[in-house]
Structure 1
């Protein structure tokens, strides 16, 4: 199977996560996209709500969209979750599957700061969603690697890992930070959140 993985704090999960993941699945012909909440993310400060709430919200989305499946491997870990460690575990337990890690261009430009980032190419393909205001400068530390590994969605059949695949996705004007700010002011950003998430937040009195 071809499996996409979208990781994040999902604090809360919103259409800025959901719609690009659906578009990536369609463009790459993926069989499934795993939504993978972090527990202790190495690159961010503490989350606003508990891991349990973030997992439950993610599960609600997976229940609503057949394209998604919850991957809880990182929430079970009591140490910071480095992607390379996670992918090593996943590829060992799913040796016959291909994995496509979905990220934004903002993550790619900082990839060399990630733990053992070079090893990621032995474990998966990187799918890079273009984001407004973010471009890969020629002098960026990842630029040479990008040129070597650059591929199109149509040319990925021959390799199980190691490619960087840029895709165009519909821009989403949502961020978890802005959504949390609105929720703190008792504003429900219904255009950014699926109804099922809005109802969960109201019911649990989150944010």
Structure 2
């Protein structure tokens, strides 16, 4: 099976995660997209809700969108999650699968700062999601990496179905949502119906997550 992996804190998960994942799944004719919540992300100080809540919300999204499946491998790990170690574990556990790791263009431009990033090309394909019309400067160091690995449809390439290490550039519909903004709106008690599925909105309300913050009392001078 061809499996895409979308990692993140999903704090909370929203359509800015869901819609690009579904677009990539359709454009590359992938079998599934695995949503992989982090437990201890190496580049962030922490999350705003528990790992259990983030896993539960991701599972609700998977229940609502059949091509999406939950992958809890990082959420269950009691140490910081590095992509290369996760892919090594997944390849060992599922040697029959061909993995595609999803990332935005911003993440791709900073890929050289990732832990053992070169090893990713021995473990999976990279799928770089970019806005329509966006380009990568030829002066950027990652332009050379892209030129070395970019997938170019050809008869020769198509015969190598087991080959890994390609970079697929996929143009996706830009989504005006971020977890930071969704949390800010929730803390202020603002409507977020356009940003998250109804099942996630219901879960957040039921478990009182990201509850509106009480106004701070004015200090007397």
Name the TM tier (shorter chain): over 0.9
Q: Which residue of 2 aligns with 1:140?
A: 140
The change in CA–CA distance for 1:109 and 1:75 in structure 2 (over 3 A counts) is: same
- State how far apart, in whole Å, the 1-side matches of 2:206 and 2:199 are: 10
C-alpha displacement at 1:86, in angstroms?
0.2
C-alpha displacement at 1:160, in angstroms?
2.8
Relative to the length of structure 1, the TM-score reads: 0.95
Q: Which residue of 1 aligns with 2:177?
A: 174
1:69 equivalent in alignment to 2:72: no
C-alpha displacement at 1:64, in angstroms?
1.0
Range 192-201 or range 43-52, more displaced: 43-52
- State how far apart, in whole Å, the 2-side matches of 1:171 and 1:94 are: 32
What do residues 11-47 of structure 1 show as CA deviations (whole Å, max 9, x unaligned)? Answer: 0000000000000000011001100000001112211
The change in CA–CA distance for 1:115 and 1:195 in structure 2 (over 3 A counts) is: same
- State how far apart, in whole Å, the 1-side matches of 2:57 and 2:33 are: 16
Relative to the length of structure 2, the TM-score reads: 0.89
Q: Which residue of 1 aligns with 2:186?
A: 183
Structure 2 regions of 5+ residues with no counterpart?
A: 211-221
- State how far apart, in whole Å, the 2-side matches of 1:45 and 1:96 are: 35
Q: Which residue of 1 aligns with 2:56?
A: 56
The change in CA–CA distance for 1:154 and 1:35 in structure 2 (over 3 A counts) is: farther
- State how far apart, in whole Å, the 2-side matches of 1:154 and 1:180 are: 45
- SS of corresponding position for 1:119: helix
Moved over 4 A (4+): 132-135, 152-156
C-alpha displacement at 1:136, in angstroms?
2.8
CA RMSD of aligned residues (A): 1.7
Structure 1 regions of 5+ residues with no counterpart?
A: none
- SS of corresponding position for 1:142: helix
Mapping of 1:120-159 within 5 angstroms? 120-131=120-131, 135-152=135-152, 157=158, 158=160, 159=162
Indicate if the aligned counterparts of 1:16 and 1:174 stay in contact, CA closer than 8 A. Answer: yes
C-alpha displacement at 1:120, in angstroms?
0.2
